Structure 1
Amino acid sequence: MGSELGVTADSKADIDLSPVTIWWAVWACVWTIAVVLGMAYLIVHRNMPTLRIRGLGLSLSAIVLLHLYWAPVQFATMVGPLLPGDCQYWMMGTLLPCGVALFHASNARFLHVAKLQRKYAQYGERLFISPTPEEKPKGLIARFHRLSYSTKMLTIVGIGMFLQIFLTILMWLISRKWHSSWGIPGTEVHGTIMEQKMAQGAGWEWWPGVAWQLAWSWIVAPIVLWKSRNIHDTHGWRVQTIGCAIANLHATPMWLIGLYVPAMAPVNTVFVPPQWICLSIMFIEIFTVFLPCWEVMRHQSLRQETLDSIARWELKVKSTGSEAKSLNSESTMVDSRISGWKSANGSVKTENSYRDSIMTMSALEHVLERNPAPLQEFSALREFSGENIVFLTSLAEWKNSLPATLRDRTLPRDSNSRDVIRDHFNRALHIYAEFISVRHAEFPVNISSQELRKLESIFEHPTRLIYGEERECVDPTSPFDKFTFDLPSPTHSDSSEKPMKSSTKSSLTDAIKDRVQYWGDIPADFDASIFDAAEASIKYLVLTNTWPKFIKDRRDSVGSFDTLAVSMEV
């Protein structure tokens, strides 16, 4: 039988400075520096869209715990005989399971976000809750089901972590392996100090930790892997899930083989059994730290390429002095690309001109106006940012239906116009609650804090009256950290709302009629331009993030799918 830290009966209580132990020590320092730099890079760029959706707080906390287990193991062959016999036991019973649990809790967000984003995949299709109050079932289980996804996930993981630590402490107390003065008789270890340390490095006391690792790597991870088989995101999240799930499969079996198979004794002298687990931890760190770093760099490169293309196109338009003609030509090229058609006689010059023109804001606006469905499906199913496109299209629908009295505040307003204005205020209120409010929106769009406060001063109080205050407030700079994605349950106010007939609709107009409406005073600052700044901000975000990825995806796939022209025809 082997030992966790490679201790044998012949080991000496000295520091081993052989080439192998020195190599492991140097490797531990180099890899730790790389991981710390990678984590620092992610923290610095935490506000980028590809990182905001990941929830860095949870994933990096998992990496810290796992690395605190990984680093000491690299020094096992050097100082293993000098360490207390229960040192590795406590690390494996606390740091490792807690780190693995937090990692899987973080990675489970991938499936949940992908599932919720599906509702944005089709234009205008959103889920609405009836304002009719229903009696909520009572009991502890019912209360648990009403919790937000993040709270339920953290509760389950927290219970599992508590049980693991409790069992670790219990096993240590009842076994006399590490203390001879109390515990179950017959569990003592005998012999020399090294023979005792060797015996302390394995045994039934380690079983809770083994069961925990097997559960995560052979049950939870494959289930997540299977459920994510049809998800193809642009953030590298699916690649991370696949890589980490596969990399964890060997860890526990090889750890057990290293401990209990005598033929592994020569290997254990240079590669102790916990190194098999550490190998999995390294892959987790690669896919959780370094892969997102690469995604950030790729996003920055693509964003800069987009800005350069826009600058070249604007320079060309100014130099030719034919802006109207250029815009008309641009619309034609956009239509041809989105419909899957490409001229067989197109020259390199034409293709370069097309590449620059299609990256412009006017090209994006053209697609949003004429045929937003392909872009919306891509952003929802691949980018997990479908709320941005739905927000822009819903806002365009709202603005196109605005009456003249709201567009021009100098016009006189009678009772009929005031009713129309109130109706459009309720529609604007719905847009705010669905896409902007940090208390009620499932995926709040990313706007500046100044603009958010401005909109909150106008809409937040009516929104709370209509939608209630059940949803926990989300940090606008990192809306996914709390991961509160449960739909709000509307409540009734005594004087400021009026119940309407409830049904499920697809358009913004019908949806707002299904809601309880606001009948209080309309703020004086409400006008047709109330969302202009937010709209400009989200359009720029889509232009520099989602739009170039969408164009690249269409360019890569247009020659591979014969049905693309039909499915995306304008």
Structure 2
Amino acid sequence: MGTEFGINKDTKPELRLGAVGIFYIVFAALWTAVLLAGMIFLWIRREMPILRIRGLPLSFAAITFMHTYWLAVQLAYWYGALMPEVAEFWIMGVWFPFGIALFHASNSRFLYVADGQRKFLQRSETLSAPVSQGGLLARWRKMDHNRRSLILILSCMGLQLALTAIVFLVSRKFHSSFGVSGTEVHGSFMERKVAQGRGWEWFPSIFWQMFWAWIFAPYILFRARKLRDTQGWRLQTIACCISNLHAAPMWLIALYVPAMEPVNTYFIPPQWIAVSVMLLEIFTVFVPIIEVWKHKALTQETLNSIARWESQKKGFNGGNKSINSDSTRSSWGGRHGRSSSVHTSTSGGSILTMEALEHTLSKNPEPLQQFSALRDFSGENIAFLTSVKEWKATYFPTTTKDTEKEDGAAKVLPRECFESALKIYVEFISATHADFQINLSSTDFKALQTIFEQAASDICGRERSSPDPCTPFADIPHRNDSESTLDVRYGGDVPADFDEHVFDDAEMSIKYLVLTNTWPKFIKERRSFDLASAEAGNN
């Protein structure tokens, strides 16, 4: 049978600096450098929507724990003959399970975000505020995903730490001065090390590895089976779940199957776990990097298409069909079968312009809203744009003449108008209260915060600590329980800076973000759907 470090009673207690040992040292250094470079690449670009929604801090914390274990395993061939087995016992019993737990908490964020985005398909129209905390169950439901995950992880790790400590105190395998008689080991230094590397003392570590890999991960796979996103997140989640399945079984086989001893001489048993850790690192760090490059390419393609279209319009002065031409419209069915018009042209470029996006938002935004919420996980952007459009249409209609406004209505309008605008701020912009924040620049965010934040705090309370306004997206989305809210009215003074143009800068910023991110993905999917439908009709 094997041992943790691939040694036997005849192994000399010395560093192994042969060709295999040098290979593992060089390989560990190179992979650590590559992984660190990838993490730095992502962290520098963490404000990008496809990275901001992933929650990089939690993912990087998990990777740090697991990679530290990975390094210890890769170098164990070199120093394993000298390393005390008790150190490996505590690493396997506490450090590595904690990293795995953090990782799966980060991995399950995909399901939380997908579930939370569905609210943008059925948005309420009333401003709400939290009421009393209620019982423990109500408090639990009101917690954000990050806090609930940490509580569960800490609870599990507390149990794991307690079990590991009890096993350590009960067994005399790692100490001879106390413990239950009959659990001690005897013999030479290497014979004791071989005996310490096996036994029931390692079962708590095995239990948690099997729990995360064979119970929790399949649950994530089951929940994600019908989800389809445009950001590679589903692929990343499924790949991470699958890549961890072999680790614990192969570790046990390497330890307890005599036929594995020749393999253990060069590939020690914990390296089967290290393989899964390396796969987790690849899918967690480098899949998002690929998505970042794809996103940049798509954005540049969109901008180039817009530039070509505008150049053609100016150069040919009508040689191509106008974006507003009725003869160039293609009818796309809405979510409920209602037709909508999205303009195109013979050049193939006009459909990616701002005019086409605004036309869709004006005539029938439901298909785009559904796509952004269920596939792109950016439903807050479309919901914000449609909310602002409805707000302007309600309180500042362009066709309404000043002479048609009565004096009484003019006095009531500002407060009702401000309350509606306040709802938009609370739902989409506030760093304190919004479930999913829209991605605004620091300047635009501060301008709106100055006008609305005090009123939002008066209405909704100050349940969450306010983050740094310069990095308002460092926190993860949170969700309020709909059953713990009530309709409220704002009774304070309307800020003097509030007017009909209060959302103009934010609206244009989000429109540009949608134009270069969600809109081209939506266009490609609709074109693929139309092409598939046409081919099916021809057959």
Same fold (TM over 0.5): yes
1:158-169 matches, within 5 Å, as 158-169=154-165
Counterpart-to-counterpart distance in 1, 2:387 and 2:160? 48
CA distance 1:44–1:369, change in 2 (3 Å) = same
State which of 268, 271, 275 in structure 2 corresponds to 1:275.
271
SS at match of 1:328: coil
| Long gaps (5+) in structure 2 | 336-343
Counterpart-to-counterpart distance in 2, 1:448 and 1:409? 35
State which of 281, 293, 302 in structure 2 corresponds to 1:306.
302
- Larger mean CA deviation between 182-191 and 536-545 belongs to 182-191
- Deviation, 1:45, is 0.8
- The question of 1:258 aligning with 2:251 is answered no
- Deviation, 1:127, is 4.2
Counterpart-to-counterpart distance in 1, 2:402 and 2:447? 19
- The question of 1:528 aligning with 2:500 is answered yes
Counterpart-to-counterpart distance in 2, 1:526 and 1:243? 49
- The question of 1:486 aligning with 2:480 is answered yes
- The question of 1:288 aligning with 2:284 is answered yes
Counterpart residue identity of residue 467, structure 1: C
Counterpart-to-counterpart distance in 1, 2:536 and 2:433? 37
Counterpart residue identity of residue 392, structure 2: K
- Deviation, 1:404, is 6.8
Q: Given that residues 62 and 100 in structure 2 are in contact (C-alpha distance below 8 angstroms), is that contact kept between their aligned partners in structure 1?
A: yes
CA distance 1:553–1:564, change in 2 (3 Å) = farther
1:67-86 matches, within 5 Å, as 67-86=67-86
1:256-405 matches, within 5 Å, as 256-322=252-318, 326-329=322-325, 333=328, 335-336=330-331, 353-354=347-348, 356-403=349-396
Question: What residue is the counterpart of 2:111 in the other structure?
Answer: 111
What is the aligned-residue identity percentage? 50
- Deviation, 1:557, is 2.3
Q: Given that residues 426 and 517 in structure 1 are in contact (C-alpha distance below 8 angstroms), is that contact kept between their aligned partners in structure 2?
A: yes
Q: Deviations over 1:184-213 (max 9, x none)?
A: 222211111111111111211111111110
- Deviation, 1:77, is 2.1
1:76-475 matches, within 5 Å, as 76-121=76-121, 125-127=122-124, 137-138=134-135, 140-322=136-318, 326-329=322-325, 333=328, 335-336=330-331, 353-354=347-348, 356-403=349-396, 414-473=407-466
- Larger mean CA deviation between 549-558 and 527-536 belongs to 549-558
Question: What residue is the counterpart of 2:39 in the other structure?
Answer: 39
1:51-62 matches, within 5 Å, as 51-62=51-62
Counterpart residue identity of residue 38, structure 1: G
Q: Given that residues 470 and 488 in structure 1 are in contact (C-alpha distance below 8 angstroms), is that contact kept between their aligned partners in structure 2?
A: no
Counterpart-to-counterpart distance in 2, 1:402 and 1:127? 19
State which of 500, 511, 517 in structure 2 corresponds to 1:539.
511
- Deviation, 1:9, is 0.7
SS at match of 2:225: coil
- Deviation, 1:325, is 5.6
- Deviation, 1:14, is 2.2
Q: Given that residues 131 and 489 in structure 1 are in contact (C-alpha distance below 8 angstroms), is that contact kept between their aligned partners in structure 2?
A: no
Q: Deviations over 1:408-467 (max 9, x none)?
A: 999998332111232222111111111111122111111112221211222222222222
- Larger mean CA deviation between 551-560 and 390-399 belongs to 551-560
SS at match of 2:532: coil
Counterpart residue identity of residue 24, structure 2: W
CA distance 1:332–1:533, change in 2 (3 Å) = farther
Question: What residue is the counterpart of 2:339 in the other structure?
Answer: none
CA distance 1:192–1:50, change in 2 (3 Å) = same
- Larger mean CA deviation between 186-195 and 461-470 belongs to 461-470
Counterpart-to-counterpart distance in 1, 2:175 and 2:260? 29
Q: Given that residues 47 and 473 in structure 2 are in contact (C-alpha distance below 8 angstroms), is that contact kept between their aligned partners in structure 1?
A: no
Counterpart-to-counterpart distance in 1, 2:535 and 2:480? 37
Question: What residue is the counterpart of 2:338 in the other structure?
Answer: none
Counterpart residue identity of residue 94, structure 2: T
TM-score of the two chains, using structure 2 as the length reference:
0.91
- Deviation, 1:562, is 6.2
Q: Given that residues 431 and 472 in structure 2 are in contact (C-alpha distance below 8 angstroms), is that contact kept between their aligned partners in structure 1?
A: no
Q: Deviations over 1:1-50 (max 9, x none)?
A: 31111111111122223333332222212211111111111111111110
SS at match of 1:396: helix
| Long gaps (5+) in structure 1 | 341-348, 492-501, 503-514, 566-570
Counterpart residue identity of residue 205, structure 2: G
- The question of 1:4 aligning with 2:1 is answered no
Counterpart-to-counterpart distance in 2, 1:300 and 1:404? 38
SS at match of 1:335: strand
CA distance 1:179–1:473, change in 2 (3 Å) = same
Counterpart-to-counterpart distance in 2, 1:75 and 1:141? 46
Q: Given that residues 440 and 487 in structure 1 are in contact (C-alpha distance below 8 angstroms), is that contact kept between their aligned partners in structure 2?
A: no
Q: Deviations over 1:440-498 (max 9, x none)?
A: 2111111112221211222222222222333443566353634422258888xxxxxxx
Q: How many residues align?
A: 528
Counterpart residue identity of residue 556, structure 1: S
Q: Given that residues 333 and 358 in structure 1 are in contact (C-alpha distance below 8 angstroms), is that contact kept between their aligned partners in structure 2?
A: no
Q: Given that residues 129 and 489 in structure 1 are in contact (C-alpha distance below 8 angstroms), is that contact kept between their aligned partners in structure 2?
A: no
Q: Given that residues 168 and 208 in structure 1 are in contact (C-alpha distance below 8 angstroms), is that contact kept between their aligned partners in structure 2?
A: yes
